[in-house]
Amino acid sequence: MSVNTLEVELIDKGGLKRDLSFHVPADAVQTAMNQACDRLSHRVRMPGFRPGHVPRHIVRSRFRGEIDNEIIQQLVPGYYQQALDKAGVTPAGSPVFSPLDITEGQPLKVLVSFEVQPEITLAPYDGLELPGFDLEVTDEDLAVAHSSLLNSMATLESAPKGHKAANGNMATIDFVGRIDGTPFPGGEAQGYALELGSGNFIPGFEEGILGHKAGDEFDIDVQFPADYHEKSLKGKNTTFSVTLHEVKVKALPELDDNFATQVGDFADLATLNETLRREIATKRQGDMRRFQRREAFSKLAELNAFDPPASLVEEELENMIEAGRRMATMDGRTNFDDTEARTHYRDEALLQVRGHRVVEEIAKAEGLAVSETDISDEVNRLAREYRRVATDVDRALRGNPVEMDRMRRALLKDKVLDLVISRARIVVQDRPDETVGKTSGKSAAKAAKKAAAKPKAGGKKTEKKDQK
């Protein structure tokens, strides 16, 4: 059916709400119904009829729900898109279809409700004030990287007799936890290896071991946090009876040329240091760019204070809540509160939806688009990051339209934000640890070790046991 002959009515329901009404022609409905009945008749076994010869009206009466669903899936999406094209409207968010009633010989009336994007006038985005940071790599940064590498290659040795347990030591312990004198499930272990200062136990437990020596038996009084993942233990005062069997200390290798060759394919310590400085600088540059993108995105959303479609905000909010719920599950927390999360995330959801709309409008105004080269570069980056073959990554993405669309939108967003940053007024500030460079040294150490990794003698890698 031609788009021009399709009966379409767009109804303004006020604000951003719209209803779209259209009719699927009766002949198209009848054809789809006949096809569905004929397909089913070959599967139906009914007394008195051979397979494929059950009358359509009997098949229709027996399997109406299944047939109607097939008709809807076959016809509605295509006619819906034609109706949108004819009405010249693009829905924002997921549409809501009113119940559909299929009657033989009659056109199918479809009513769809959705919201549309508001018309906006972009606020000026050239000359935004954004932060920049001094990215100089210092000797202190290099020392952090050295420490990370040294610790990664340290060995554990039994502490000398009389040694008092300290942070960084490995303690082998037995423990039994009691609440009001009664042991509780999960509060007991034997031969548990715990790195002191790791923060793996509730506050106060590891601190209670510090200063003790191998062979000591002692009690530690602690209180479970009020937000502890196990509800029955929240806020409970607990006494752990502990036996400290052994304390091990880390033996660090010497920081010299020989150490550099053990880390990876480095000729000497100077070569390793050069790589570390380069990796730290690269990491910091990337951290700063990500930080600037977040700041630019937030400012664009704040400067363009319009009300986006409520349905889009709700969708974004649900995505945030689901992500928070998954994170809580991964962390072992069972106290995730959907109602509290909805309140907590709502402003951020609004900011995100508003910001994405602004990004799309800037892209149109500036003629920015994602090219095949951009996609290829991103595929190669992902392949390097996850150590996969680029062609496999490309095939997987192109076989998943949702993921491909998500990647395109992310790349376009970065293009727009990088343009805004290039035209911004950068104000150099002290580098905040929590945003840029706090872990640059450690990250650089890992990157250098990974990039220059070489097999040990005999081709085997040294294995380390999980001490948790």
> What pLDDT does residue 430 have?
80
Residue 274 sits in the same domain as residue 241: no
In a domain, residue 121? The reply is no
> ∠ CA 186-191-196 to the nearest 5 degrees?
85
Among 6-15, 177-186, 325-334, 350-359, the range scoring the smallest mean pLDDT is 325-334
Residue 287 sits in the same domain as residue 387: yes
Residue 68 sits in the same domain as residue 186: no
In a domain, residue 99? The reply is yes
In angstroms, the CA 426 to CA 420 distance is 11
Residue 203 sits in which domain range?
Answer: 155-251
Domain end among 221, 251, 281: 251
Give the pLDDT confidence of 358-380 residue by residue, as tens digits.
999 999 999 999 999 999 999 99
Residue 223 sits in the same domain as residue 282: no
Residue 219 sits in the same domain as residue 306: no
Residue 44 burial by Cβ neighbours in a 10 Å radius (0-12, 13-18, 19+): middle
Q: Tell me, what amino acid is at 101?
A: D
Q: How confident is the model at residue 458 (pLDDT cuts 50, 70, 90)?
A: very low
Residue 443 sits in the same domain as residue 305: yes
Given a contact cutoff of 8 angstroms between Cβ atoms, the answer to whether 424 and 414 are in contact is: no
> What pLDDT does residue 61 have?
76
Reference 159, options 244, 219, 241, 240; nearest CA is: 244
Question: Taking 70 as the threshold, does the pLDDT of residue 468 lie above it?
Answer: no
In a domain, residue 466? The reply is no
Q: What is the pTM of this model?
A: 0.73
Residue 107 sits in the same domain as residue 191: no
Given a contact cutoff of 8 angstroms between Cβ atoms, the answer to whether 10 and 110 are in contact is: no
In a domain, residue 76? The reply is yes
Question: What is the domain count for the chain?
Answer: 3
In angstroms, the CA 468 to CA 206 distance is 13
Q: Average pLDDT of 212-225?
A: 96
Q: Average pLDDT of 289-299?
A: 96
In angstroms, the CA 325 to CA 330 distance is 9
In a domain, residue 360? The reply is yes
Give the pLDDT confidence of 86-144 residue by residue, as tens digits.
999 999 988 999 999 998 889 999 999 999 999 999 999 999 999 999 888 999 999 99
Residue 60 sits in the same domain as residue 159: no
Q: How many residues does the chain have?
A: 468
The more confident residue out of 406 and 433 is 406
Q: In the structure encoding, which two tokens stand for residue 193, read together?
A: 């290896």
Q: How confident is the model at residue 3 (pLDDT cuts 50, 70, 90)?
A: low
Residue 290 sits in the same domain as residue 406: yes
In a domain, residue 235? The reply is yes
Residue 165 sits in the same domain as residue 241: yes
The percentage of residues in the chain with a pLDDT greater than 90, rounded to a whole number, is 71
Given a contact cutoff of 8 angstroms between Cβ atoms, the answer to whether 202 and 253 are in contact is: no
Q: Tell me, what amino acid is at 319?
A: N
Reference 276, options 259, 251, 288; nearest CA is: 259
In a domain, residue 123? The reply is no
Residue 392: CATH number of its domain = 1.10.3120.10
Partners of residue 246 on adjacent β-strands: 172
In a domain, residue 15? The reply is yes
Give the pLDDT confidence of 26-83 residue by residue, as tens digits.
999 999 988 888 887 777 666 667 666 677 777 777 888 888 999 999 999 999 999 9
Residue 35: CATH number of its domain = 3.30.70.1050
Give the pLDDT confidence of 309-330 residue by residue, as tens digits.
999 999 999 999 999 999 888 8
Residue 310 sits in the same domain as residue 441: yes
